């Protein structure tokens, strides 16, 4: 059985996230949403409300929350559909993808201005799950048939995301908030782009197993 379906699901997961983010951000026009200043989660808060030192008013909050939900499930499906992995390699990847999927679902149902504790749990499940998953997938090239170069890119994406996570936590602790939206995206975007690259490779080079 080929890994084309797995590759498609990984691509879809990133595409859903980026599309939902873009659409929700474009609808937030008064004042304009800032990718460098505002938290990602603000896009899921209809508001208007001020919380955590930021004004939140997302007219299409439902789009972002739907995106969180579908992104997490698509990423999990992509890993579950992978073929050619021995159990000792498969289950850590599936378990980590489950953390990412759970994070997306929690983010969708608990917006950032309301159940703050639960929302934070969802965010960090996503942050940790997505970046660790990228690292784990990067080490599976021999089993899945993609290049060592792509494997190194995936590992680097996960490590970069975790490094940005440290910076993000430091900014939250300091209360400075300087470019915090940009730093938060540094946690998320690398592993999402890694999913796209891996998905494209899997669709180009199907593997049987």
Q: What is the pLDDT of residues 5-33, one digit of tens each?
A: 999 999 999 999 999 999 999 999 888 99
Instruction: Note the pLDDT of residue 207.
Output: 44
Q: Among the listed ranges 123-127, 142-146, 201-205, which one has the minimum average pLDDT value? A: 201-205
* Cβ partners under 8 Å of residue 159, min gap 6: 131, 135
Q: What is the pTM of this model?
A: 0.93
Q: Does the pLDDT value for residue 164 go beyond 50?
A: yes
* Closest by CA position to 47, among listed 138, 112, 119, 2: 112
pLDDT at 115 over 90: no
The per-residue pLDDT for 190 is: 98
Degrees (nearest 5) of the Cα angle 10, 16, 18? 105
Residue 29's pLDDT is what? 85
Which among 114, 122, 14 is positioned nearest to 74, based on CA atoms?
A: 14
The tally of CA atoms less than 13 A away on the side-chain side of residue 21 is 19
Phi-psi label, residue 84: left if phi above 0, alpha if psi -120 to 50, beta otherwise: left
Separation between Cα atoms, residue 47 and residue 49, nearest integer Å: 5
Given a contact cutoff of 8 angstroms between Cβ atoms, the answer to whether 108 and 62 are in contact is no
Spatial separation of the C-alpha atoms in residues 155 and 133, rounded to whole Å = 9
Backbone φ and ψ for 146, nearest 5 degrees, come out as -100, 170
Residue 175, phi-psi category: left (phi > 0), alpha (psi -120 to 50), beta (remainder): left
Residue 36 φ/ψ, nearest 5 degrees? -95, -25
> What pLDDT is recorded for position 1?
56
């Amino acid at each position: 059985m080929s890994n084309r379906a797995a590759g498609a699901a990984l691509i879809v997961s990133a595409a859903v996230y980026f599309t939902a983010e873009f659409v929700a951000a474009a609808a937030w026009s008064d004042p304009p949403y800032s990718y460098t200043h505002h938290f990602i989660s603000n896009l899921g808060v209809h508001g208007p409300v001020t919380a955590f030192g930021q004004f939140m008013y997302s007219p299409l909050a439902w789009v972002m929350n739907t995106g969180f939900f579908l992104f997490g499930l698509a990423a999990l499906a992509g890993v579950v559909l992978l073929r050619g992995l021995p159990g000792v390699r498969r289950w850590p990847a599936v378990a980590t993808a489950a953390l990412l999927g759970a994070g997306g679902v929690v983010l969708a149902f608990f917006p950032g201005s309301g159940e703050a504790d639960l929302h934070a749990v969802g965010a960090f499940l996503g942050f940790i799950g997505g970046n660790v998953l990228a690292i784990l997938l990067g080490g599976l090239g021999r089993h899945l048939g993609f290049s060592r170069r792509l494997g190194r890119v995936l590992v680097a994406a996960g490590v970069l995301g975790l490094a940005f996570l440290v910076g993000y936590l430091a900014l939250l602790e300091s209360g400075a908030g300087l470019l915090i939206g940009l730093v938060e995206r540094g946690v998320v975007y690398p592993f999402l782009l890694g999913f796209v690259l891996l998905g494209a490779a899997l669709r180009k080079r199907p593997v049987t197993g």
